[in-house]
């Protein structure tokens, strides 16, 4: 009997406690849920912060090493990585963290840098979101601000690359590409770029030690390395390319080196005066230059793609320019050739692209990125030689100028000259009745 009473008491006590717990949960469920979420968040929070300041990373693959420089800062608890190449800075501020792993995405390149804290250094890899199996390994160390050699270990020499250089790039199929290289020396840091008829190779930074001249570039997209040797004061030989491929590089010093006229490379075929096309906008609506919106206006058509670094430079110029000039009777239309022949893919890519570069002008999806295909879709043109190609059209719809490639900020004075020419052409077309 006593055991039965004791058992009944236990059941009553359990029911009482259960009811109390239930009432507490009903009254304070939001506080309990918040506590559980906080606990879960703390489990995925970084164990330790990545050190702020300057870092030096090195990609290593196939026996080649490509160094790059970056800095880490913080916005609250979120790390911000800034790639540094010469005077250019490219910020990635959408990092995500889990444990000692931090992922720095670069949406415009459809890529990401995955870093893992290992002691005081970082290890990890770079990959494209669309090709995550192909990983480029790297290692990075803090408080290192040099590119290739520690300054006090540089071999002295009499060579100085500061000048213009006529360049021949020998491709894998033995074909040759004409180019111009420009270098300048600032306190033993070598800055420069390579200009071609289709665009420039953007900001290169490096050093010289003895007869060895090395420059590299990385801003979240493809990494590149220029590995050269002086064979004489006026002669350089070496290679230029990425980790997986490179081209032979031959250069002769020439202060008058220059490329062919960018306005003469692409032209209208005989019998054509206008440019006709019909492509969907990013909502799928067909658009042509005969649409009412473009009537009696000056039109600038750019053949481009979000994957193209020179197109990014052009868009960074055109975005603010259009906002300042759109009320003057001028429209900009981008014909976007993308890496996939899919409208939804193009729309997703351009949402990220537009946000970074301030693109508010019209964007049309023209198909898969392929110069031959682009030439077929725009039959009035002699050939699409480059992404980007910029076409100036007057109020009557006649093509007046075509500029092949883009001369970006890395080219210094050439970029300033291009902007002056661009504005002069547009001003003239707007002024015409």
CB atoms within 10 A of CB 194: 26
The domain that contains 59 carries what CATH number? Answer: 2.40.128.120
> In this predicted model, which residue has the larger pLDDT, 120 or 2?
120
More confident position, 38 or 120: 120
pLDDT for the residue 390: 98
Convert the pLDDT of each residue in 350-386 to its tens digit: 999 999 999 999 999 999 999 999 999 999 999 999 9
For residue 9, pLDDT beyond 70: no
Q: Does 268 score more than 90 pLDDT?
A: yes
pLDDT of residue 131: 78
Looking at the fold, whether 88 and 162 belong to one and the same domain comes out as no
Q: What is the mean pLDDT of the chain?
A: 90
Q: For residue range 380-411, list pLDDT tens digits in order.
A: 999 999 999 999 999 999 999 999 999 999 99
Q: Which residue has the higher pLDDT, 44 or 391?
A: 391
DSSP string, 306-367: TT-HHHHHHHHHHHHHHHHHGGGSEEEEEEEEESSS-HHHHHHHHHHHHHHHT--SEEEEEE
Residue that is last in its domain, among 142, 177, 193: 142
Mean pLDDT of 83-91: 95
> Considering the chain, what percentage of its residues have pLDDT values greater than 70?
89
CATH code where residue 341 lies: 3.40.30.10
d(CA 276, CA 393): 11
Q: Are residues 93 and 135 in the same domain?
A: yes
Alpha helix locations (H) across 155-241?
Answer: none
Whether 424 and 283 map to the same domain: the answer is yes
Same domain, yes or no: 118 and 157: no
Confidence of residue 187 (pLDDT cuts 50, 70, 90): confident
Q: Cα–Cα distances in Å, from 302 out to 254, 292, 348?
A: 32, 20, 20
| Residues 384, 403 contacting (CB under 8 angstroms) | no
Number of independent structural domains in the chain: 3
DSSP string for residues in 259-296: PPPTTSSS-BPTT--B----EEBTTS-EE-TTSGGGTT
Nearest alpha carbon to residue 148 among 64, 73, 82, 257? 64
User: Residue 284 — very low, low, confident or very high, per pLDDT cuts 50/70/90?
Assistant: very high
Boundary residue ending a domain (101, 118, 142): 142
Residue 28 reports pLDDT greater than 80? no
What DSSP character marks residue 377?
H
Q: Are 294 and 366 part of one and the same domain?
A: yes
**177 and 225 both lie in a single domain:** yes
The answer to whether residues 325 and 241 belong to one domain is no
CA distance 357 to 408: 14
Confidence grade of residue 101 (pLDDT, cut at 50, 70, 90)? very high
| Contact call for residues 302 and 403 (beta carbons, < 8 A) | no
Task: Reply yes or no on whether the pLDDT at 213 is more than 60.
Answer: yes
The reply to whether 63 falls in a domain is yes
| In a domain? residue 40 | no
Backbone phi, psi, residue 130, to 5°: -80, -10
264 domain residue, yes or no: no
Structure tokens at 319: 């975005």
Per-residue tokens: 327: 């009320």
Residues 177, 82 within the same domain: no
- Verify that 130 and 69 share a domain, yes or no: yes
Residue 8 confidence (pLDDT) above 70: no
Its domain, for residue 209, covers 153-253
Query: What integer pLDDT is reported at residue 16 of this predicted model?
Result: 37
């Amino acid at each position: 009997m006593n055991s039965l009473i004791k058992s009944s008491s236990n059941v009553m006590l359990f029911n009482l406690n259960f009811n109390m717990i239930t009432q507490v949960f009903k009254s304070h469920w939001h506080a309990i849920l918040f506590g559980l979420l906080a606990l879960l968040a703390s489990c995925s929070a970084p164990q330790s912060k990545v050190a702020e300041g300057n870092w030096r990373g090195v990609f290593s693959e196939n026996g080649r090493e490509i160094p790059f420089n970056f800095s880490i800062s913080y916005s609250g608890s979120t790390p911000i990585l800034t790639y540094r190449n010469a005077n250019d800075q490219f910020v990635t501020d959408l990092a995500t963290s889990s444990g000692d792993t931090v992922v720095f995405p670069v949406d415009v390149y459809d890529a990401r840098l995955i870093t893992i804290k290992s002691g005081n250094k970082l290890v990890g890899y770079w990959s494209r979101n669309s090709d995550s199996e192909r990983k480029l390994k790297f290692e990075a160390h803090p408080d290192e601000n040099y590119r290739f050699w520690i300054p006090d270990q540089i071999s002295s020499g009499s060579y100085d690359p500061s000048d213009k250089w006529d360049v021949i790039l020998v491709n894998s199929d033995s074909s040759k590409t004409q180019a111009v290289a420009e270098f300048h020396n600032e306190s033993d840091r070598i800055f420069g770029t390579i200009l071609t008829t289709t665009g420039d190779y953007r900001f290169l930074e490096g050093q010289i030690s003895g007869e060895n001249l090395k420059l590299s570039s990385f801003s979240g997209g493809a990494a590149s390395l220029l590995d050269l040797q002086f064979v004489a004061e006026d002669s350089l030989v070496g290679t230029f390319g990425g980790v997986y491929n490179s081209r032979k590089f031959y250069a002769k010093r020439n202060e008058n080196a220059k490329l062919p006229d960018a306005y003469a490379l692409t032209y209208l075929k005989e019998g054509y005066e206008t440019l006709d096309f019909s492509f969907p906008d990013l909502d799928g609506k067909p658009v042509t230059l005969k649409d009412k919106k473009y009537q009696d206006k000056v039109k600038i058509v750019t053949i481009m793609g979000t994957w193209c670094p020179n197109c990014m430079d052009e868009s960074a110029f055109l975005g603010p320019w259009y906002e300042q000039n759109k009320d003057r009777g001028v429209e900009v239309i981008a014909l976007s050739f993308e890496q996939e022949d899919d409208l939804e893919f193009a729309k997703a890519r351009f949402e990220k692209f537009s946000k970074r570069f301030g693109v508010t002008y019209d964007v049309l999806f023209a198909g898969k990125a392929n110069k031959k295909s682009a030439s077929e879709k725009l039959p009035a043109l002699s050939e699409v030689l480059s992404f980007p190609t910029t076409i100036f059209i007057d109020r009557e719809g006649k093509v007046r100028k075509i500029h092949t490639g883009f001369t970006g900020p890395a080219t210094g004075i050439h970029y300033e000259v291009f902007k002056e020419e661009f504005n002069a052409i547009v001003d003239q077309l707007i002024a015409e009745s």
